[in-house]
Structure 1
Amino acid sequence: MKNARYPHGHRRQKAGRSAPGMARLGVLLGIVAAAGCAVGPQPGAPNVRAPAAYNAHPLDLHGGPQRIRWTQQESQAWWSLFHSSALNGYIRQAMEANPDIQAARAALAREQSLIAVAQGGLLPSVGAGAGISRGRAQRTGANGGASYRIPGNLYSLLLGTINVSYNPDVFGRQKDLVHAARARAAISRASLHQSEVFLAAAVSRAVINGAAARAQLDAARQIATADARLLRLLQQEYQLGYQNLQSVDQQEAITAAAQARIAPLQADVAVARHGLAALLGQSPDTDLPMPTLASLQLPSSLPTTLPSALAAQRPDIQAAAAELKVAAAQADVATADLYPQFNITADIGKAAMTGGMFFNPISTLWSLGAGIAAPIYNGGALHAQRRAALDQYKAVSDQYRGTVLDAFREVADALRALQGADTSYQHRLAAQTAAGAALRLAEARYRDGATDYATVLDAEIAYQQDTVAAISARGQRYLDSVALFVALGDGWQPEAGDARTASDAQPHSAIHQSPGAPA
């Protein structure tokens, strides 16, 4: 019978030769083992071809303040690229106090402890017991042919035993359980990393959204103040007879609408602060200073992982690869269940009625035994269980490929969104600048009597709309930068300290790209 191969690269060992007197049992077990010989799934993640570029068309960021820097390593502490001490402090605080992160760390500690539990099955187990009892025996007597029982003497019984039990892992079942435990720990470790990535992104989004809402609130207040000032001017001109009542009413409506936009923006700032407090593990009444949008610098250099290195740092891909190892180990366990299981036991102890006799060699008790249990017939349940484990391995393998493809898609989407946000902001900023200049010119011409109020009204509405749109577009650029780092799997590395981006990747014959190349 050939040894079965298993996904961890080792070959199952054959059981030793049968001792004399157990030849028939050995033949029977050999038949059972031969029936169970099968090849398990081979280890390793499926080969998913890395694309030469993330996007089919070139990515062009030459017109904006950002550039792509291709690398083969992840960007650690990427949030430091925003150069905001407040953001850095909030993320550091969140990593220490966030309940979800603490739960993920506890889950990882549990899985690491279970590795030791599985490894304990490879070693003999030793136990000890001791006891003392006091009792009276009954004696049997005879009187004229009639038997009777009378109380005997009091006696004490001292007992002490040491027992040893060992299950030789002949067919590697326990080793497979250890492999599965290690893989589950790897899943928990990847899940913790992913939780850290998502937490850093959530804190960054809360700060960016809060800063953008604060900027919009400041702009709304300025616009409302300017509207109120223009309203007072129109009211004065109406009293002097230089303006009609319709213009005054229109400006009153615009002023009221501008003031009405302030309260919702205040609520947006509060909502962002409440969300940030929850991420930091604090109650919503905590007073958290919200940085300004101007204090956040747009990362000028975006270290972006090449497609060939993406799978090595995305935590979800790492978790999917660990799931494959778990599935392979479970298939190995199901295969090992088709083989006999061995057990060796040994007991040694003492039994004596006095303390002196307890240490006498003649009071020693011992036993030594060995056992074997082999499946003979179970209605095909064990073979069906093995087929189910192999099918599970196939399903997990397909899920791994899907995870990798989704990772490439998410990075491609993030890069394209980054380009779109940059282009949109440039146009929005130009529109805001032009609208501001047009409004100032219209107000000056109105004061000089060279134009009517309708022109000023149109210019003011356009400026208000362009101002809000420019602030939103600016915040979106920050959010899209965060989304790119999340798609790349970059995240929290507490041992890295400050931001440490990877060096530029060396040219690669198939996938190396320079800024502006297809991405």
Structure 2
Amino acid sequence: MPSIDGHAGWTREKFPYAESGIPNTNASWGYYDLHVAVSYDIDVWGGIRRGIEREAALRDAVAAQLQAAYLVLTANIVSTAINAAMLSREMEEQQRLVTFEEEYLRTVEAQYQVGAASATDVALQRTQVAEQYALVPNFRARFFNARHALADLVGSFATDARIPAIDLDQLTLPAELPLGVPSTLLEHRPDIRQATADLHAATAAVGVAEAARLPTFMLSGAWGDVAAHAAEFAVPGNGMAALAAQIVQPIFQGGRLLHNQRQAEAALSASAEHWRAVVYSSFRNVADVLTQIAGDKDAFDADVVAERAASQALSLAQKQYRLGGISYITVLTTETAYQRTLITLIEARAARLSDSAALFVSLGGGWWNRHDNPVLPDRIVPLDGSVPQ
């Protein structure tokens, strides 16, 4: 597009005439200047067009970088929420097991009173209750740490009561998690789009550098009035107009333009290698996630079988102990095994949820389906630290 500028000014000058051969003589005068200047660079070699193309590509790269940052943020929120739900469930199960152990302690103490259990059995059960109870504060601390991290990620304070509790049972997996995906889905990954835009900008920069070594063509002109007094504008004889055409060809600049072009070409090669590295890394990331999904599914299925077997073994051991068929040490061993399998199953469920989130992230997160603006927050925390209502 052409450039159009309006100029308005007043100038006062004093000029000595010694240069014209009349010494000790000078004169001063003032004048008003009001005109419009127009200039247009004729883009013969496409340097301006490539410059606009480069800036547009850089804009796309920053937009992809923004989407990548938003994707990382949402992925961290999801993983932290899953972790908080897992720890909440583990804490509940641990408290339930403590209650279960306390009930058995009362049973063993009653059996000891009638001579059906030994003092060793009582001491062992008290130890078991203490050990199980000691695990509750650990789960509680990890749970609240996860809650605090979640509050931080969503831009709130750790004590914000508006962050809801998350139930692990309310988090559901997709009907099926694929073991393979089409490679075209990776085109939506923000890191690939950013690398592609950077490569595009690098190619345009080469065109700009090439055009800078060729002749430039410019048309310029001006139209307006110059008068000694403001009231004399538009008086015949005060009008001014100018029209110029210019061609500039760089002849010698110490090799600067040549090396600028070589620098742009080297930057293009680096951008191409970076793009290739990003693509390879993206394929590896998706392959790792798909491998993890397959492995965690097998581990989850095995943990389900183990939890059911441990639960059945515990139930049988409790019945046999009440009938006097086994010792209490066997019951304690069975209880410990059940607790471990139960906690492992909860962690396996959380791992599968995290795997599904990781798969969505590795495929770009679906950001292209968004219709809102993720840049603008819905509320701003004032600098004084107060929370807006």
The aligned counterpart of 2:157 is 283
**Selected match of 2:101 from 224, 227, 232:** 227
Which of 233-242 and 176-185 deviates more? 233-242
Name the counterpart of 1:476. 351
Correspondence for 2:259: 384
Deviation at 1:348, TM superposition (A): 2.3
Post-superposition shift, 1:459?
A: 0.4
CA distance in 1, matches of 2:71, 2:178: 16
Q: Which residue of 1 aligns with 2:315?
A: 440
Provide the C-alpha distance between the structure 2 equivalents of 1:392 and 1:353, rounded to a whole number of angstroms.
Answer: 56
Paired with 2:47 and 2:53, the residues of 1 have a C-alpha distance of: 10
Distance 1:359 1:382 in 2: 47
Change (3 A) 1:171 1:460: same
Check conservation: 2:178, 2:290, Cα contact below 8 A.
Answer: no
In structure 2, how many angstroms separate the alpha carbons of the residues matched to 1:318 and 1:478?
A: 27
Calculate percent identity across the aligned residue pairs. Answer: 32
Correspondence 1:80-479 to 2 at 5 A: 123-132=1-10, 157-287=31-161, 288-302=163-177, 306-479=181-354
Q: Which residue of 2 aligns with 1:495?
A: 371
Question: Does the C-alpha gap of structure 1 residues 425 and 331 become closer, same or farther in structure 2, counting only changes over 3 Å?
Answer: same
Amino acid in structure 1 at the alignment position of 2:344? A
- Shift in CA distance, 308/421, structure 1 to aligned 2, threshold 3 Å: closer
Partner of 2:384: none
Q: TM-score, normalised by structure 1?
A: 0.65
Corresponding residue for residue 5 of structure 1: none
Which residue number in structure 2 is paired with residue 22 of structure 1?
A: none
Whichever residue aligns with residue 332 of structure 1, its letter is G
Alpha-carbon separation, structure 2, partners of 1:470 and 1:302: 19
More helix by share: 2
Deviation per residue, 1:261-315 (Å, 9 max, x gap):
1112112221222222122211121121222111112211347884341342222
Amino acid corresponding to residue 130 of structure 1 in structure 2: A
| Structure-1 separation of matches of 2:101 and 2:287 | 44
Structure 1 residue matching 2:302: 3-state secondary structure: helix
Deviates more, 1:180-189 or 1:216-225: 180-189
In the alignment of these two chains, the number of paired residues is 365
Describe the SS at the equivalent of 1:376: coil
Compared CA separation, residues 230 and 403, structure 1 to 2 (3 A): same
1:404 to 1:450, Cα distance in 2 relative to 1, 3 A:
same
Pairwise CA distance, 1:465: 0.6
CA distance in 1, matches of 2:169, 2:293: 19
Which residue type is aligned with residue 45 of structure 2?
F
Could you report, residue by residue, the CA deviation over 1:321-372 in whole angstroms, capped at 9, with x for unpaired residues? 1111111011111111211233333222212234553111211123333333
Q: 1:356 and 1:473, CA in 2 relative to 1: closer, same or farther beyond 3 A?
A: closer
Counterpart amino acid of 1:299? P
**Residue 47 of structure 1 aligns with which residue?**
none
Q: Aligned partners of 1:132, 1:333: CA distance in 2, in Å? A: 39
Instruction: Tell which deviates more after alignment, 459-468 or 438-447.
Output: 438-447
RMSD over equivalenced CA pairs, Å: 2.7
> Counterpart in 2 of 1:9?
none
Cα deviation per residue 1:219-263 (whole Å; 9 max; x = unaligned)? Answer: 100111111111222223334333233322222222111111111
Q: Which has the higher contact order (CA 8 A, sep 6+)?
A: 1
- Given that 1:200 and 1:491 are in contact with CA atoms closer than 8 Å, whether structure 2 keeps it comes out as no
Contact 2:215 2:248 in 1 (8 A): yes
Letter in 1 for 2:336: I
What amino acid is the match of 2:112? Y
Q: Summarize deviations over 1:138-188 as a string: whole Å, max 9, x none.
A: 9xxxxxxxx998999xx8743312222222222221111101111111112
**How has the CA–CA distance of structure 1 residues 488 and 151 changed in structure 2, closer, same or farther, with 3 Å as cutoff?**
closer
Q: Give the secondary-structure state (helix, strand or coil) at the position aligned to 1:301.
A: coil
Contact 1:344 1:369 in 2 (8 A): yes
The question of whether the paired residues in 2 share the 8 Å contact of 1:234 and 1:243 is answered with yes
Deviations 1:451-494 (A, max 9, x none): 11111011011011111001001111111111111112232323
Superposed CA offset, 1:203-234 (max 9, x none):
22122111111110111001111111112222
Deviations 1:88-117 (A, max 9, x none): xxxxxxxxxxxxxxxxxxxxxxxxxxxxxx
1:13 aligned partner: none
Specify the SS of the correspondent of 1:216: helix
Deviation at 1:440, TM superposition (A): 1.6
Verify the 8 A CA contact 2:180 2:290 in the aligned structure 1: no
Pairwise CA distance, 1:401: 1.7
Structure 1, gaps ≥5 residues long: 1-122, 139-146, 497-519
Structure 2, unmatched stretches of 5+, are 17-22, 373-389
Q: How many angstroms apart in 1 are the aligned matches of 2:12 and 2:204?
A: 52
User: CA–CA distance in 1 between the matches of 2:53 and 2:279?
Assistant: 23
d(CA) in 2 for partners of 1:136, 1:239 = 121
Specify the code of the residue in structure 1 equivalent to 2:76.
A
The residue aligned with 2:376 is: none
In structure 2, C-alpha distance between the alignment counterparts of 1:315 and 1:134, rounded to whole Å:
59
